[in-house]
Structure formats: structure tokens, C-alpha cells
Amino acid sequence: MSGGVDSSVAALLLKEQGYEVFGTMLKLWESEKEPRVSQRTCCSIEDAEDARSVARQLDIPFYVLNMKKQFRTTVIQNFVEEYGKGNTPNPCIACNRHIKFGEMLVKANDLGCGKIATGHYATVEYDNNAKRFLLKKGADRQKDQSYVLYMLGQHQLKNLVLPLGGYTKKEIREKALEAGLRVFGKPDSQEICFVQNGRYADFLVNHGVASGTEPGDFVDVQGNILGTHNGFIHYTVGQRKGLGINGNGNGPYYVISLQRATNQIVVGRREEMQVRSFFAYDMNYIVSANRNADFRGKAKVRYSADEVDVIVSPLENGRARIEFLSDQPLAAPGQAVVFYHDDFVIGGGTIE
């Protein structure tokens, strides 16, 4: 229970369905280096009070579990290291992998709970033919969060309940209002809970990013110098705004790649950032235990992206080659690519 409306209503629905419910809040982050100027971050006092109030109203036990050490070593450290390499990691996926559906599942077993539940908008179904648990999109396509759950394995899916999968966000807020929960109108939390006001670069510098802060050259695809960048931790593949490069009336430039070895950022016009294929690693396949043959599906290369047609070719060592059926903008290394068949998640991996 994060103190938000989604997890609060998830607990309410579970209790209505006859479950014995325990509310837990994960204490993940507390920065000593950055004064808290925004309340829309994780683990705030206000969030804890909201979660505890809802638990009291629902008459369920409530625990705060300190996982700051695990969060720092598995999420924060990875976030800083990947940005230092010129990648754009997704810390929410890392948190889901290691904390919410890793450490939390162990804690749930210690508490004697048979399952864990969250306020994600997605659904878990069991397929009798495949003898496997499958992950399905949530009913609210605008809020569907199956993308950030693609890494879940069979053990996690078997022990997971997602009460909000069949509801829209509007219905969840109405449910909270009807139940008199104080969080019914609470704003959604920001995308990255531990970065205040979107200041990624400040956070990285304050937490010891090893490289990527030195100014260098913007160059075009032919190697011509176009200007000076402020350090590649400020940029990501596909970025258009904030480059400070004059387009000379020929349209804007986009970031095509970050060259760590030379500290150069390659930029180009929109047509120069179109690709037909890329590679991914650390692949996880939900619909089958192993994938050896090529398959077709729809793919998303970031949470807010549209789905596009692809052919996926599994390779050795957990890698895959993904081919678009039409030219598409470059995908940012470090982000997740997730594959779908209709409403079901086939699997996904991390973009190289």
C-alpha cells in the first residue's frame, strides 16, 4: 500500500472478495542529500499516513517494511550505473523485478500470506492448455501496466493477485469515493518516485555517477561538429528538445546515439533516426518456457509508445533480434521492449 488510490482500492476489493488482507508499505527511499520539496515522491510521511488511515478504515493489519538497503543496491545503483554508460534505464521495472515481486514475495511468505497483491492495472490468468499463468492487459487501456510486469516468472504470477485489472481508473476513483477513502482524489505519483521534479542529472551527480558529466561535442552522422553538449547524462536517444542546436530551417535534430568512448553525442534529422531492427537482452518469455523459433507480434519500446508489428528472432544467451515491419524511430538502450499477442504479454527484454 503506497498511500495512493490504486493500492487502497485494491485492498478494499480484496476484503470485499473475502480475502484475509494484510496491508504493507515498503520503505524504499529516503535521501539525505536532497531536501524533500515535493510530496509526490515515494515513502513520504504523508503517504504513510494515508496508507495507515485506509488500513485502519478497512480494519486490516498494517506493516511498514524497511527495504531501503535492497532498493539502493538493486534499483538506485543500477540507475546510476546505466546512465553513466549512456543508457536510459527504467527503474520502475527494476523495482518490480527485485523488490515488489522479489523481496516482497519472500516477506509475504514470512507473514504466512499465500499471495501478494498490488494496484497495477493488469490481469493474471491461468491457461489450462499451456499449463501456465499468463499476463494480460488491464481493461483500462490508458492505464494498462502490463508493460512494467513483463519480467515476471511463473512462480511470481502464480502468487500474484491484481484486483484492478478489470476496472478503469475512473471506476477505481468512484469506488474509493463511495467507500469514503480519504485518497479518492489523490494525484497519481510521478514516474520515478525518487527523482524530485524530474531533475535526473542532479540526482545522478549527487549519487556518484561515475561518468557522463563532462561536456563534449554534438556531431552529425557524418562526424561534423555542430555544438557542445553538457554531459551525456542530460540526454537520451530520441530526444529532440533542449539540444540547443540550430536546425537552419531544415527541421529539428534528434539524438541518435551517445558515444561514451569519445564523449560525443550523434544527432540527426528525423529520417536519419529510423531503423528496421535492434537487439535486446535478458529476455523473459511468459507464454512458453522457452522460445527458439521466430515469432510475430506487436511490440512496445517504451511505456507510452504505440504498438508496432515486429518479428522476433530468439538468440543464444537470452538475447533476441527484433525486426520492425516498417521503419520506426530508434529505441533507447536500457528501456524495455515488450511483445504482445492480442491482449496477452508474450514476453520482453532490455534494449541494447
Superfamily of domain 211-268: Adenine nucleotide alpha hydrolases-like domains (2.30.30.280)
Q: Considering 42, 92, 113, 193, which one is annotated as catalytic?
A: 193
pTM recorded for the entire structure: 0.92
How are beta strands 62-66 and 23-27 bridged, if at all?
parallel
**Does the 5-198 domain belong in CATH 3.20.20.70?**
no
Tell me, yes or no, if the two domains 211-268 and 274-351 fold the same way.
no
For the domain 274-351, what is the CATH code?
2.40.30.10
- Residue 122 pairs in a beta bridge with 137
Asked if residue 275 lies in contact with residue 248, where contact means CB atoms within 8 angstroms, the answer is no
Whether the pLDDT of residue 195 is over 90: the answer is no
Q: Considering 42, 43, 92, 95, which one is annotated as catalytic?
A: 95
Whether the pLDDT of residue 313 is over 90: the answer is yes
| C-alpha–C-alpha distance, residues 325 and 327, integer Å | 7
Give the start-to-end residue ranges of the domains of the chain.
5-198, 211-268, 274-351
Active site residue 95: yes
Whether the pLDDT of residue 44 is over 90: the answer is no
User: pLDDT grade, residue 246 (50/70/90)?
Assistant: confident
Q: What is the pLDDT of residue 91?
A: 94
Active site residue 92: no
Q: What is the dihedral of CA 219, 220, 226, 228, to 10 degrees?
A: -30
Average pLDDT over residues 270-284: 96
Whether the pLDDT of residue 38 is over 60: the answer is no
CA distances from 158 to 117, 133, 134, 166 (A): 11, 6, 9, 18
The tens digit of pLDDT for each residue in 99-136 reads 999 999 999 988 889 899 999 999 999 999 999 999 99
Whether the pLDDT of residue 71 is over 60: the answer is yes
